[in-house]
Amino acid sequence: MAIQGLQGKVAFVSGGGSGIGAATAIRLAQEGALVVICGRRKEPLDEVVAQIKAAGGKAEAVQADVGIEGEYVAAIEAAAARHGRLDVLVNNAMAYTWGALSQTSTADWHANFTTSVDGTFWGTRTAMQLMQTSGGSIINISSICGTLGTAWMAGYSAAKAAIINFSRAAAAEGALAGIRVNVVIPAVVDTPATAGMLSDPASRANTEKLIPMGRVGRPEELASAIAFLASDDASYITGVALPVDGGRSAVLVTAL
């Protein structure tokens, strides 16, 4: 059964050039939405747009750095102005550093927050302003690192945890205006960001041992959850943090 209520909607997806963002843009377009994707690099954005258009969907690319307030806000506002509305925002773009906490510089610490947390704030604030009279759906992407402690990724873990509770507060403020705010929480997903780790057979096998379903996620599986939360089928769902992780966050791993 098709998802209800995305036909003709205007959706904006950050970090839409690859991985979960690209899969989400493709899925939303398949459901009939006009999708605007943004990111720092033009070439991958154009490739995703071409793929959507080749399948008969509607999409356009905007080059913008989510970690720069003026660029990201302007990109969202301009998209809404061009198309007369904004119905869906997916804050997917992220950046991270890793390394031992004892060796993490203040600059590296802050680098985890600018795109992931500040960008999510700037995008959510802008969308809530644009959606005040018409309502809409905002989906923010966190990580299992934001719910479970992750060694060597303290900054990223803190940033992704912040997204979850920020989104709950935003959901409480937006509810009466019909603005729903939800979070999707992936674990390990087969994307360019994890390609290095997963290309090593031993590392991939060890990772998959920790997941009850026995495999890492596919970007399309995250996109399906995001599309559902964006749609009218989720019309009474807001303030939710939904793990889409093959059961990884549901279990206590005591041995490999």
Reading across the β-sheet that carries 241-244, which strands appear in turn? 58-63, 34-39, 10-14, 88-91, 136-141, 179-186, 241-244
Active site residue 236: no
Out of 72, 96, 156, 236, pick the active-site residue: 156
Residues 6+ apart with CB under 8 A from 182: 137, 138, 139, 140, 167, 171, 229, 234, 237, 238, 239, 240, 241, 242
Long-range Cβ contacts of 98-102 (<8 Å, 24+ apart):
98/152, 98/153, 98/156, 99/152, 100/152, 101/152, 101/154
Cβ neighbours of 245 (radius 10 Å): 24
Q: What are the catalytic residues?
A: 156
